[in-house]
Each structure stands twice: as C-alpha cells, then as structure tokens.
Structure 1
Amino acid sequence: MDTYFKQKTIARNVALSGTGVHSGKKNNITIKPAPENHGIKFQRVDLPGTQPVQALFKHVVDTSLATVLGSNGAIVSTIEHLMASFAGLGIDNVLVEMDEYEMPIMDGSAKDFTQVFTAAGVAVQGRPKHFMIVRKPVRVEQGDKFVEVIPEPCFKITCSIDFDHPLIGKQELTYDRAKNNFEKEISHARTFGFIQDIELLKKFSLGKGGSLDNAIVIDKDKILNPDGLRYPDEFVRHKLLDSLGDFSLLGMPIQGHIISHKSGHTLNHAFIKRFLENRDAWETGPAKMESNT
C-alpha cells in the first residue's frame, strides 16, 4: 500500500526558534512525535495548566492577518506555514510546544519547517488515514472571489490570483499531491506584501518582525529584495501554500479538487464552514480509487 494512506508522525523531536512577524517576539518551538489518532496539537508551555489547542477549524478565532487558534485560555497565531508543511509532507500526529503565542515567521515560507521534518524523518504509523471524500461540489463566493471543491479521485488544489500590479498580474497554479513535490515546488514560496501596506501595519504596531529577510516586499515597479524571486510565480505558489495550511484545519486530508480565485484566510475559512455544514456533500473514510501515477 502507498504509505500516503497511512498516518504519519516525525521520527524524533525537532526544535526551531524565530520571531513572530506581527508581534516581533521570539518564540522557541519544539515539535514532538505523537501517537496514532492524536492529530496536531499546540501546547503553550509559557502558560502552565492550559490544555493543548487542537489544530481544528472549530478553534479558529481570527483570520484578519493570519490564522489564529484559541481554546481553553490559550491562543496560537500565524500557524498557516507550519500547517502547510504538515499537510505537504502528510504528517498527521505531532505535539507543537511553544513559549510565545505567535509562530516564528522564519524566512516567510514553509522551507525551514519542511527541511527539519525531512531531516528528522517522517515515520509511517500503523493505522490508516481517514479522508474527507467529496461527493458533491461546494462553493463560496464573495464578489469576484471564490473557493470551491469538486469530486476528484485524488487531492488537487488550484489557486489563481489577479493583482493590478505589473510584477504580479494574473497567475494560476495546480498542485497534485500524486505528481508534484511539495518541498521543491511549494515550500520555498515566501509571503509577500506591498511597501505601503507594510508601512501601514507598522503604524498600528503590527508587522514588528517583518523584514526583507522574511517577506517579498513590492514597490510600484520593483521588488525590493536584493535576491529577487525564488520562483517566477512565487506569489501564487505562496497563496497555494497558505491554502494548504488553512484547509488542513479540517482535521483530515481532502479527497477532491479545491479551486480558489483571489482567496485569502478569511474566505478560505468561510468555505470550510460552508463545506462542513453541507453534510451530504462529503463522507469520511479511507481514500477510494486515488491515482498514484
């Protein structure tokens, strides 16, 4: 059997440190293996007595600037890049210990997380994964933006963006878990922002940890990062990375094709809510007839 269909954890503890992009606060994190059916949980070790926060949609408390979870008196913020790394590598069960509320931004991508997990080793466990198998289309629209999912015998995600800026414009990308390599093709894509937006964030005491070391910064006619882009279409690749992180909060991988246009965290989470409410549009169980070519 393809090991994709088995639950996975990491083979040993890994540790990283970095600064939160909005808070500017240093966070030391340790990610530990966890048993089957544990799921992904965040433990605030700086708040003794608080229970772990499970990485599930029902615990999302804010999506205005990042994905924020909250439960039992603890919050964890800006988790989407780490969650994308778990989703991209098929990791189901870990405990993430952290001593601050905001995940470190690292270099603005999922690269550092992905590399430490790959170096530590991804351990295949005995029990099978369960999937959310899409049976009927579900769609959420907001003006000219939308997110939808359609039945498909494998997991795919297609993202498109359309920015009125000469350096971005229209970009579209499809990621097929059976054909594409997350680590090489998606994980290195960094978050991005426009110089005027970043200046505005800092006026409101946000973006304290942001710099050219952890984001692509765009001016009217140029990219300010000295080394330029990592991929010609890095912008849409990062939007796809964020989406992988957001949709992983369903708690199970999807068997279906997600298609999004001009979406962000808020619309992604509105879609998840609609998807979960449409109980006749999906079922849970082992994956069926997934193509592995």
Structure 2
Amino acid sequence: MNEKQHTIKAPVTVTGIGLHTGIVSNMTFKPAPANHGYKFQRIDMPGQPLVNVDVDNVVDLSRGTTIEQNGARVNTVEHTLAALVGLQIDNVLIELDGPEPPIMDGSAIEFVKALISVGMQEQNALRNYFEITKGISYKDDARGVEIAALPLDDYRLTVMVDYNSPVLGSQHASITDITQFQEEIASCRTFCFLHELEALFKQNLIKGGNLDNAIVIVDRVVQEDELAHLSELLNKPKVSVQEEGILNNTELRFKNEPARHKLLDLIGDLALIGRPIKGQILAARPGHAANVAFAKKVKRLIQESVIKNIPTYDPKKPPVMDINQIAATLPHRYPFLLIDKIIHLDDTMVAGIKNVTMNEPFFQGHFPNNPVMPGVLQIEAMAQTGGILVLNAMDNPDDYWTYLLAIDKCRFKRKVVPGDTIIFKCELLAPLKRGIAKMAGQAFVNGQLVIEAEMSAMIVKKDA
C-alpha cells in the first residue's frame, strides 16, 4: 500500500448515461492538492456546489449510494469511488454536469482505464490511514447480513453472497492486496434478478439500465409473452434466455462475477469513511444499506478515537511546563533533551511536544539525504515525557533519578521527519509500586499514530 498520498497528473473525462436517472452526463476527474480527499462538483447547477464524499452525506440507498450536500445530489457514486480506492488515488475533484456518474458497462473498469491513461502523481504528504486495532462488527439479522473488520497491517476484503438461487449458488470473492483490484475486481458488472426488473422500473429506477451495463439473472422459467414485455422495457428488439441462466445468455467475465461486484460495491461504499483503511473486511451478503451502516459505525469510532486518544495541542496556549521547567526537572541536556513543552500533566497522564527541525544533530549522520528521526530517539523522547509523569508523583522530584527498565510491544507506524511536531502521550497502566512505573506511550504527528510502546521505569533516590 502507498505510504504517500497520490492524485492524477491531468484531467480526464468519461461520458455516458446514468443507470437510474437515464441522463447522459460528462464526468471529469481533476487533480487535487494533498488532504483534499474526494469531492464531487455539480457544475450544471447554480454556484457549482461541492458534495463531499462523506458517509454522513448519504441520503438514499435505492439500489445504489446517493450523497447530497449544499443542495446538490449525486446518485450511484460507489463504482466511481471504488475505482479511486482501487488505484490508491487519494485526492481528486470530480466534476459532473448531471445528477449521476455514467454507468458505462456496469463496472468500474472504464473509470480505471481513464485514470490510468493520465497517470498518478505522488504528493508530499503521508496517507492518513485508519488502522483497525480491534474487531468491529455489524449485523442485520432480518437480512442475514454480517460485516466485520479485523486488525491487519494491510487492506484485504472477502465477500460471500448466497441468494438461494440455482443459477448463482453460494459465491465468495476476495482480494489480499488492493493492487489486485484492477485485474480481479474492476471489470465485474452490476447485476439483478429478473423478478426485480419490473419493481425497479415501477420505482422510477434503472432508466438507463440495459443488457449492455447489467447482468440480469433468470432463476425461473420465463414465458414468451414475458420476454416480449422485457424487450420493450429494455429497448431491445429481442431478448432470450435459457431455462435458467442469464438474460440474452450474456457470458460472465468470472464464474463468481456477482460476488466480485459486491466486493467492488463494498470498496466504493467504504470510501465514504473519508480515510484509507488498514484492516481485514469480511462481509456476508452485503448491500449498500449494510455497507453504509458499517461505514457510519467506523466513522464514529474514528471520531471517538480522535477525541479520546490524541491530546489537543494549541501553540497559542501557555504550556504546563516550558523548556526551562523541563530542564529543571530532567537531568538531560543538549543534545539529549528531546522534549520542548509539556501541555498536559495530571496524576495518570502526561502529554509533551517535540518540534523536529533539520538542525537536530542526529540528522548529520542519520540518512542526511533523507532525514528521518531515529526510532530509538523517538523512544527516548517518549521516555523523557513519561519521566515527567513519574517524577510528578514524588513529593520531592529533585531527589530522584528515573531509569528506563523495559520496552514492550513497540511498533513504529510512520516516519518522523523535519517539520513534524510530535505529540507524546504517556499513561500509567497501574499505580507506582516499589519504585516501578509501567506506562503506555504513544506519539502522534498530524493526528496519525507514529509510534506506540509500553515502558517500565525505575525510580531511584539520588543518594541511594
């Protein structure tokens, strides 16, 4: 998976009819700056309003995912978004001169081809992954739907479908790496059952649907008069079918093409979370309603994690301890005094700040042409932050030394480079006992976790 954000090198346009609205539109993908994300722009409307790709903007799930903001609505966004996620493109403005992206052939492959034709541009910003750290589940017993996310340092998806159909049977599809999307998933077309067609037409949907952009599955015997009626609905001179099979005997691109298309829809709908995901997604009988409900659950967890876990740093506010107070508490000095401010301090938690600049002495020898703060010094800075917490628990902190005893469960998540401001957070895991403190430490840059570890420290009296 990409470490840095990407956009496209140049604009590219696709044109076609919308599946449900039946309106022909032009959709233009345009490059966008880092941290822009995905935004649609209805250029056919007064003021050319923007619609952010956000699960909270979902307003309709009638056989597709529709979003709305600023009085503008965009129908059936999932295939477009799946193409962007599948190519690991992070920032794009999508101009649209109609209410719905073109359905093309019912898959995402034409969007993928268009995007690849202009190429990708790496941007000087890290991808803001949301990492699944514990199991997340969604269940709809009435529909027999289950979706779960499990921790994984990658993005893998598995989908199982079972419609009690003799034609489809039980199917599953999976990708173990998002780079497989282009070859394995992008060309898989949308589908529906024959018995659903009439109802969809009555709901004023699939006005742009035909046998060139959808697979129609026939799981019962069809009479000639019904086939004649279908030819009128689908604007075809003649439609035919075997006793059980696919209307007009269309050949599937994969034996499990329906399951693969469900996986495509899932990828597109989960883009509404607003951040790329690291985790394993398992889904049984997913649909747009379940996908969006699950995406909302994940987004709430993201919001809660930001509120609960990352200390807020406002450089305009005076610190709890400035550099002089820190130097008066800790014995460290240049070049080993590695924290600049303490912004929070109570009995169980401390938060400190480190402003990383190119003037750090370690950059002279640690990848000077690609400066990266050494991981051991990140640990040292986090330990110094924890030292402030531990000494704060003593009546006379000047009388004690703190020594690092152990480091457990240490994981480096992202590089720390010049220009970064690191927020360190250390929390006591248990009350101090016999001069031993055990802490959980984390460090964040721009809201992203860069390192985490558990640390044990020993407190020793100076005259001991």
Query: Residue 154 of structure 2 corresponds to which residue in structure 1?
Result: 154
- Measured after TM superposition, the shift of residue 89 of structure 1 is 0.2
Residue number among 270, 282, 290 corresponding to 1:247 in the alignment? 270
Tell me the amino acid that sits aligned with residue 269 of structure 1: V
Cα separation, 1, equivalents of 2:212 and 2:258: 16
What stretches of structure 1 of length at least 5 have no aligned partner?
A: 289-293
- For the Cα contact (< 8 Å) 2:273–2:296, is it kept in 1? no
What stretches of structure 2 of length at least 5 have no aligned partner?
A: 220-243, 310-446, 452-464
Query: Residue 172 of structure 1 corresponds to which residue in structure 2?
Result: 172
What CA deviation, in whole Å up to 9, does each residue of 1:107-135 have, x standing for no partner? 00001000111111111111110100111
- Measured after TM superposition, the shift of residue 287 of structure 1 is 8.3
- Measured after TM superposition, the shift of residue 227 of structure 1 is 3.9
- Measured after TM superposition, the shift of residue 160 of structure 1 is 0.6
Cα separation, 2, equivalents of 1:243 and 1:191: 12
Query: Residue 23 of structure 2 corresponds to which residue in structure 1?
Result: 25
Query: Residue 291 of structure 1 corresponds to which residue in structure 2?
Result: none
- Measured after TM superposition, the shift of residue 203 of structure 1 is 2.4
Query: Residue 14 of structure 1 corresponds to which residue in structure 2?
Result: 12
- For the Cα contact (< 8 Å) 1:32–1:95, is it kept in 2? yes
- Measured after TM superposition, the shift of residue 51 of structure 1 is 2.7
Distance 1:207 1:126, change over 3 A: same
Cα separation, 2, equivalents of 1:211 and 1:159: 26
Cα separation, 2, equivalents of 1:42 and 1:240: 23
- For the Cα contact (< 8 Å) 2:8–2:120, is it kept in 1? yes
Cα separation, 2, equivalents of 1:287 and 1:154: 16
What CA deviation, in whole Å up to 9, does each residue of 1:53-73 have, x standing for no partner? 111112111123211110011
Query: Residue 362 of structure 2 corresponds to which residue in structure 1?
Result: none
Query: Residue 288 of structure 2 corresponds to which residue in structure 1?
Result: 265
Residue number among 89, 92, 101 corresponding to 1:91 in the alignment? 89
Query: Residue 58 of structure 1 corresponds to which residue in structure 2?
Result: 56
- Measured after TM superposition, the shift of residue 50 of structure 1 is 4.1
User: Is residue 455 of structure 2 the alignment partner of residue 285 of structure 1?
Assistant: no
Q: What is the aligned length?
A: 286
Greater RCO structure (CA 8 Å; 6+ sep): 1
Backbone CA RMSD of aligned residues: 1.9
Cα separation, 1, equivalents of 2:81 and 2:204: 26
Q: Which has the larger radius of gyration?
A: 2
Cα separation, 2, equivalents of 1:194 and 1:153: 37
What CA deviation, in whole Å up to 9, does each residue of 1:120-152 have, x standing for no partner? 111111111010011111111111211111111
Query: Residue 108 of structure 1 corresponds to which residue in structure 2?
Result: 106
Distance 1:53 1:104, change over 3 A: same
- For the Cα contact (< 8 Å) 2:7–2:120, is it kept in 1? yes
- For the Cα contact (< 8 Å) 1:131–1:287, is it kept in 2? no
Tell me the amino acid that sits aligned with residue 224 of structure 1: L
Query: Residue 140 of structure 1 corresponds to which residue in structure 2?
Result: 138
Cα separation, 2, equivalents of 1:245 and 1:225: 28
Please say which of residues 117-126 and 199-208 is displaced more in the overlay.
199-208
Tell me the amino acid that sits aligned with residue 83 of structure 2: S
SS in 2 for 1:97: strand
Query: Residue 212 of structure 2 corresponds to which residue in structure 1?
Result: 213
- Measured after TM superposition, the shift of residue 174 of structure 1 is 1.9
Please say which of residues 267-276 and 247-256 is displaced more in the overlay.
267-276
SS in 2 for 1:38: coil
Query: Residue 246 of structure 2 corresponds to which residue in structure 1?
Result: 223
- For the Cα contact (< 8 Å) 2:148–2:282, is it kept in 1? yes
Query: Residue 297 of structure 2 corresponds to which residue in structure 1?
Result: 274
- For the Cα contact (< 8 Å) 1:190–1:238, is it kept in 2? yes
Query: Residue 41 of structure 2 corresponds to which residue in structure 1?
Result: 43
Q: Percent identity?
A: 40
Distance 1:102 1:65, change over 3 A: same
- Measured after TM superposition, the shift of residue 259 of structure 1 is 0.8
What CA deviation, in whole Å up to 9, does each residue of 1:236-267 have, x standing for no partner? 00000000000011111111111110110101
Query: Residue 195 of structure 1 corresponds to which residue in structure 2?
Result: 194
- For the Cα contact (< 8 Å) 2:6–2:123, is it kept in 1? yes
Tell me the amino acid that sits aligned with residue 213 of structure 1: D
- Measured after TM superposition, the shift of residue 286 of structure 1 is 6.4
SS in 2 for 1:181: helix
Cα separation, 2, equivalents of 1:243 and 1:68: 14
- Measured after TM superposition, the shift of residue 87 of structure 1 is 0.4
Distance 1:170 1:129, change over 3 A: same
- For the Cα contact (< 8 Å) 1:247–1:268, is it kept in 2? yes
